[in-house]
Amino acid sequence: MNIDTLYVRTEKGQNALTDRYVKLPHSLMRALIIVDGQRNVGELHTMAPLYDDLDESLETLFTEGFIEITQPQRERPKAMAENADGTPHEAPKQNTDAPSHKNVKWRLISMLQVELGSKSDASIKAAAEKMIHSISSLPEEYLALSAAWKKCVKVTKITIDVELAETIRRQGEELLAQLQE
């Protein structure tokens, strides 16, 4: 799969996210959630490194009409730097092999959307939305996100399911550890 491909949800894809009667497999639903028309496939992989089947899910969503290929809204400007004499030159590329410290917050939110947003119980969805809202307002800092994440795990454990809370705790800790590297 080309990492520069940019997908956007179709009307069918949007409906799948909002219509509780549309039943997509878990792997397809979590891929559909992160497709936003702004991030290309490479960026989606960076955002969701735990999704081993992301390429296959995107292909299936595309084939079944839930997403389509789109063009970027605008070309991203090349990073420019200046030589000592003030003349511009292209800045060196960043090492993309290094772990991504950006988007941990959004990857935590995506995980909550996938794990809790797929539940049919309205109270669970409401709890998930509150958790997502609290995390989305925080800075991308370990202490703030870690404290909020612990609250999410606690609420999940008390009100929803102990096993699910453990899954969320473990996956969240893996993501949060990236902010400490």
CB 95 within 8 A of CB 173: no
Q: Lowest mean pLDDT of 36-45, 62-71, 117-126, 164-173, name the range.
A: 117-126
Q: How far is CA 24 from the centre of its chain?
A: 18
Question: Over 50: is that where the pLDDT of 163 sits?
Answer: yes
**H helical segments located in the chain:** 11-18, 26-34, 41-47, 54-63, 104-117, 122-136, 142-159, 162-177
Indicate if 114 and 168 belong to the same structural domain. Answer: yes
Q: Give the pLDDT score at 95.
A: 40
The answer as to whether 94 is a domain residue is: no
Pair (62, 116) in one structural domain: no
Residues 169 and 109 in one domain: yes
pLDDT of 120 strictly over 70: no
| 169, part of any domain | yes
Does the structure show a pLDDT above 60 at 102? no
Could you tell me if residue 138 is inside a domain? yes
Mean pLDDT of the chain: 79
The boundaries of the domain holding residue 126 are 104-177
The string of pLDDT tens digits covering residues 24-80 is: 888 898 899 889 888 888 888 877 766 778 889 999 999 999 999 987 654 444 444
For the segment 75-91, the average pLDDT, to the nearest whole number, is 51
Domain finish residue from 49, 70, 91: 70
Please report the pLDDT score of residue 73 as a whole number. 53
Q: How confident is the model at residue 93 (pLDDT cuts 50, 70, 90)?
A: very low
